[in-house]
A and B are shown apart, each in its own frame.
Chain A
Amino acid sequence: MHRLLFEKVGNGIYLSHLDLMRVFQRAFLRAGVSLKHSSGFSPRAYVSVALPLSVGVESVCELLDYELANDAPVPGDLAQRLNATMPEGIRVLEVYESDRKIRDLGLLRAQLTLEYDGGVPENAISSIEALLNGESVIVPKHTKRGEVETDILPMISEWSVSQTDVNTISVNVLVAAQEPSLNPLLLITAIERYQPECAPDFAICRRVEVYDRGGAVFR
């Protein structure tokens, strides 16, 4: 399986999943590499991104699988060729072969940055820690059946909270990535619901690493 690792940062975070697919399809063509296409009425290129990000979320560990037309070999300088014509914020970090199935990707680590314009409230860290140490944290979660009130604590396997400067708190979490999956930003929703006095003015979410269910880095 041809796979590549890429980052989606800066203004690249505002591209939707569909935009990103289009960006990659065109970047491959600009790189002079033909993707394999489906047959049928409206042929589509074989490219797929694992666990699509929400618009506005950063990541340095995105994975894209692709197939080349006529089973052509992958050019050695594919990463450079793709990066030569990428829009701002999208950059290929590594091009490689993998035999690992995306369904084995079970965990992901995210870093949340909570911004407080008037300074971090007193006791904010301890309040957030108390929330995560509690019995349950129930927030409305988007599922196939619509919005469902869900306890998110069982989906968080590790966490740490620290103050970065007078205005920001950093929350590092390891969460379930697939079946079930947890959008780390729901933690902000939880803070808003349970500890409204600690709700940040703005929050940034960055996906930093993906793992298999055993906790080994997934590639």
Chain B
Amino acid sequence: MTDKLHRILPTVQKPARYIGGEYRQVIKEKKDVNIRVAFCFPDTYEIGMSNLGLRILYGVLNRIPDVWCERVFMPWGDMADAMQENDIPLYALESKDPVKDFDLVSFSIGYEMSYLNILNMMLLSGIAPLAKDRGGLDEIVFAGGVCAYNPEPLADFFDFFVLGEGEDVIIELMDIYRTAKQEQWQKDRFLKEVSKIEGVYVPSFYEHIYGEDGALCEIRALCGAPKTVKKRIVQSFDDSFFPVDGIVPSTEIVHDRANLEVFRGCIRGCRFCQAGYCYRPVRPRNADTLLRQAQQVLADSGNQEITLASLSTSDYKQLEQLALPLIDFCEPRMVNVSLPSLRADNFSRELMMKVQKVRKSGLTFAPEAGTQRLRDAINKNVTEAEILETCATAFSGGWNNVKLYFMLGLPTETDEDVLGIAELTYKIIQVWKDNATNKKRGLTINLATAFFVPKPFTPFQWEAQITPEEYTRRVRLLKEQLHSRCVDYRYHGAELSFLEAVLARGDRRLAPVLLEAVKNGARLDSWNEYFRPEIWQKAFETCGVDPAWYAQRAYGKDEVLPWDTLSIGVNKAFFWRERERAYRGETTPSCREQCSGCGADKLLEGGVCDA
């Protein structure tokens, strides 16, 4: 007789997401394993399997002989409902064992709007969401990822957070857990020991005290916990672990291709960009290493596309030494090289023409702002002339599709800046008319605007977000200017970005709101099919929390910020200086031109960035 799981699988959408069994999944003998880790990703399989961090840590953990790391993803709504109706607890893909039976449960959190998926996954697993309700050493739940830099809205749910790059910390954690399990420690003792690891933050060791005005006024370290917890980085990135023999999904995922991680960090310093600061300092991987990894990963996976991943690939010093041999290797094998994050400079233009031989990929620009004044204020180092020149080259080379990404609601933005987006778009259309080789096929411009969200550990961390109403007004203002048929304009929803802003800079008082929203059925918020802002609104009301206080308030220079206990290695004083420069419309040179003393170089043992 068929079991319940296999009876529901044929009834749900894309069941291949729920069965594991892919080439290169790791299966171990339970008798050889001391520590079983359920590595949870709080979004769907297609998103999670595209995440390089997950693939790296899966490899690092499974290389430890007595550790078995398995994957868990958020089921789509139909599957989650069917599992609940049939009393099937959330299980890991490799063994199909319930998550609850694992020694350690970890989450990788990269996006605020996945917070409710975390709670939903805990509930589907039968795990108590509040850390204080989990007493045993076998009930530890921890997390890492970019959202761990302000984990306060999640502080009540997790036993600890890991800040920064996990390759080394995760091994140290396993060593402590192994001893703890052998010697049957109490959970308290285990938490105390892990809090001594650099990069590990145990939120229950800190008391947050709020003043009468509602603002946070003091963070008190208890139990001898360190005053600040600094993020961890991999010291020698060139020889750090890279998964050349990773899992090859059988079903289509979002980024369905092999990856090369070219370098970590970014020399640019765009003032809105959290990743640009959090991944500092810049550490490149050697071109020879990358070429070797490319050949290995292509042979092992059978992928027909490979992408050079980094925050700004044009800034890789050895780009020519890497890209040209890579293209030579890939072209005869019908492997497509994809180069996202290229800047609009000369060499990038040449490269773009070269890589189009296998498959022509799109042309994408992220000017972020419509006028040079605002681009200077946000320190987005791209000029109109560069964009138009690159477009001219591309159009004369046969391209007829451009993607443009902007943000609305950036600090200091005026209506003139909004209208500047439309003007730039029309200039691109004119360049196409002047340069296109095949006008019959027409031009398509996919224009998208996002709603600016102030993020911790950026120069704009103190800024107020504009109201959803004002954002919607600016969207309309722009829309009215776009009458060309070749422009397809899409914009992010106001409500989602508003909530993102609340959570990004939120504090511990948001925990009851999250629980309330989950209780009322909220989940999969980043998916239009499921996002229901009214559930959130009601949860804020029920809990007596004003979301606007978090999103639309400018935080004071001397205010205690919820994430002040944590450090990414970049000084708060540097961020404030950058904020002031933004308001004066001054740019900051890239790290390669001139060091601006952000402090991230101190994270390196030698103390020198390779910008």
Chain A complexes with chain B: yes
* Selected contact of A89 from candidates B21, B299, B302, B303, CB within 8 Å: B21
Does A94 make an interface contact (CB < 8 A)?
Answer: no
Q: Is the CB of B10 within 8 A of A55?
A: yes
Q: B303: which A residues are within 8 A, CB to CB?
A: 26, 29
The interface centre, meaning the residue of B21, B252, B360 with most chain A CB atoms within 10 A of its CB, is: B21
Q: A87 vs B1: C-alpha distance in the bound complex, in angstroms?
A: 24
Q: B23: which A residues are within 8 A, CB to CB?
A: 26-27, 30, 85-87
Q: Which residue of B lies closest to A117 (CB)?
A: B1
Q: Is the CB of B252 within 8 A of A18?
A: yes
A87-B15 contact, Cβ under 8 Å, with A18-B252, A22-B250, A29-B304: no
Q: Which residue of A lies closest to B3 (CB)?
A: A202
Question: How many whole Å from A154's CB to the nearest CB in chain B?
Answer: 27
Q: Is the CB of A115 within 8 A of B1?
A: yes
Does B301 make an interface contact (CB < 8 A)?
Answer: yes
Q: Which residue of A lies closest to B298 (CB)?
A: A29
Does B419 make an interface contact (CB < 8 A)?
Answer: no
Does B591 make an interface contact (CB < 8 A)?
Answer: no
Within 8 A of A (CB), among B290-321: 298-304
Does A126 make an interface contact (CB < 8 A)?
Answer: no
Q: Is the CB of A15 within 8 A of B304?
A: no
Q: A165 vs B105: C-alpha distance in the bound complex, in angstroms?
A: 42
A43-B302 contact, Cβ under 8 Å, with A15-B16, A167-B1: no
Within 8 A of B (CB), among A99-148: 115, 117
Q: A22: which B residues are within 8 A, CB to CB?
A: 250, 252
Q: A29 vs B258: C-alpha distance in the bound complex, in angstroms?
A: 13
Question: How many whole Å from B19's CB to the nearest CB in chain A?
Answer: 4
Q: A55: which B residues are within 8 A, CB to CB?
A: 10, 15
Q: A211: which B residues are within 8 A, CB to CB?
A: none
Question: How many whole Å from A168's CB to the nearest CB in chain B?
Answer: 7
The interface centre, meaning the residue of A12, A25, A30, A86 with most chain B CB atoms within 10 A of its CB, is: A30
A42-B251 contact, Cβ under 8 Å, with A26-B301, A86-B23: no
Does B9 make an interface contact (CB < 8 A)?
Answer: yes
Q: A26: which B residues are within 8 A, CB to CB?
A: 23, 248, 301-304
Q: A23: which B residues are within 8 A, CB to CB?
A: 250
* Selected contact of A87 from candidates B250, B301, B304, CB within 8 Å: B250
A87-B22 contact, Cβ under 8 Å, with A15-B251, A22-B252, A29-B304: yes
Q: B251: which A residues are within 8 A, CB to CB?
A: 15-16, 19
Q: Is the CB of B21 within 8 A of A87?
A: yes
Interface size of B by CB at 8 A reads 30
Q: A27: which B residues are within 8 A, CB to CB?
A: 23, 302
Q: A119 vs B523: C-alpha distance in the bound complex, in angstroms?
A: 39
Interface size of A by CB at 8 A reads 36
A14-B304 contact, Cβ under 8 Å, with A23-B250, A34-B333, A168-B1: no
Q: Is the CB of A204 within 8 A of B359?
A: no
Does B217 make an interface contact (CB < 8 A)?
Answer: no
Question: How many whole Å from A28's CB to the nearest CB in chain B?
Answer: 7
Q: A47 vs B21: C-alpha distance in the bound complex, in angstroms?
A: 23
Q: A87 vs B334: C-alpha distance in the bound complex, in angstroms?
A: 23
Q: Is the CB of B7 within 8 A of A202?
A: yes
Does A88 make an interface contact (CB < 8 A)?
Answer: yes
A30-B302 contact, Cβ under 8 Å, with A19-B251, A43-B334, A115-B1: yes
Q: Is the CB of A14 within 8 A of B15?
A: yes
Question: How many whole Å from A218's CB to the nearest CB in chain B?
Answer: 27
Within 8 A of B (CB), among A3-20: 10-12, 14-16, 18-19
A88-B21 contact, Cβ under 8 Å, with A14-B9, A16-B16, A41-B360: yes
A28-B21 contact, Cβ under 8 Å, with A15-B250, A16-B251, A56-B15: no
Within 8 A of A (CB), among B1-34: 1-2, 7, 9-10, 14-16, 18-23
Q: Which residue of A lies closest to B360 (CB)?
A: A41
Q: A85 vs B23: C-alpha distance in the bound complex, in angstroms?
A: 6
Q: Is the CB of A30 within 8 A of B19?
A: no
A30-B299 contact, Cβ under 8 Å, with A11-B21, A19-B252, A168-B1: yes
Does A2 make an interface contact (CB < 8 A)?
Answer: no
Question: How many whole Å from A166's CB to the nearest CB in chain B?
Answer: 10
Q: B7: which A residues are within 8 A, CB to CB?
A: 201-202
Q: B252: which A residues are within 8 A, CB to CB?
A: 18-19, 22
Question: How many whole Å from A74's CB to the nearest CB in chain B?
Answer: 18
Q: Which residue of A lies closest to B19 (CB)?
A: A11
Q: A202: which B residues are within 8 A, CB to CB?
A: 2, 7
Q: A201 vs B19: C-alpha distance in the bound complex, in angstroms?
A: 22
Q: A202 vs B10: C-alpha distance in the bound complex, in angstroms?
A: 10
Q: B10: which A residues are within 8 A, CB to CB?
A: 14, 55-56
Q: Is the CB of B2 within 8 A of A115?
A: yes
Q: A213: which B residues are within 8 A, CB to CB?
A: none
Q: A115 vs B14: C-alpha distance in the bound complex, in angstroms?
A: 24
* Selected contact of B300 from candidates A12, A18, A30, A37, CB within 8 Å: A30
Q: Which residue of B lies closest to A32 (CB)?
A: B299
Q: Which residue of A lies closest to B300 (CB)?
A: A30
Q: Which residue of A lies closest to B247 (CB)?
A: A87
Q: A115 vs B3: C-alpha distance in the bound complex, in angstroms?
A: 11
Question: How many whole Å from B400's CB to the nearest CB in chain A?
Answer: 12
Q: A37: which B residues are within 8 A, CB to CB?
A: 334
Q: Which residue of B lies closest to A24 (CB)?
A: B302
The interface centre, meaning the residue of B10, B15, B18, B20 with most chain A CB atoms within 10 A of its CB, is: B10
Q: B9: which A residues are within 8 A, CB to CB?
A: 14, 56
Q: B300: which A residues are within 8 A, CB to CB?
A: 30
Q: A22 vs B301: C-alpha distance in the bound complex, in angstroms?
A: 12
Q: A201: which B residues are within 8 A, CB to CB?
A: 7
Closest 4 CB pairs of A and B: A26-B302, A88-B21, A56-B10, A29-B302
Q: What would 8 more interface pairs be, CB under 8 Å, given A18-B252, A29-B302?
A: A14-B19, A19-B251, A26-B23, A26-B248, A30-B300, A88-B19, A88-B22, A204-B2
Q: Can you spell out 11 A-B residue pairs with CB atoms less than 8 angstroms apart?
A: A14-B10, A15-B16, A16-B251, A22-B252, A30-B300, A37-B334, A42-B359, A85-B23, A87-B250, A88-B19, A89-B21
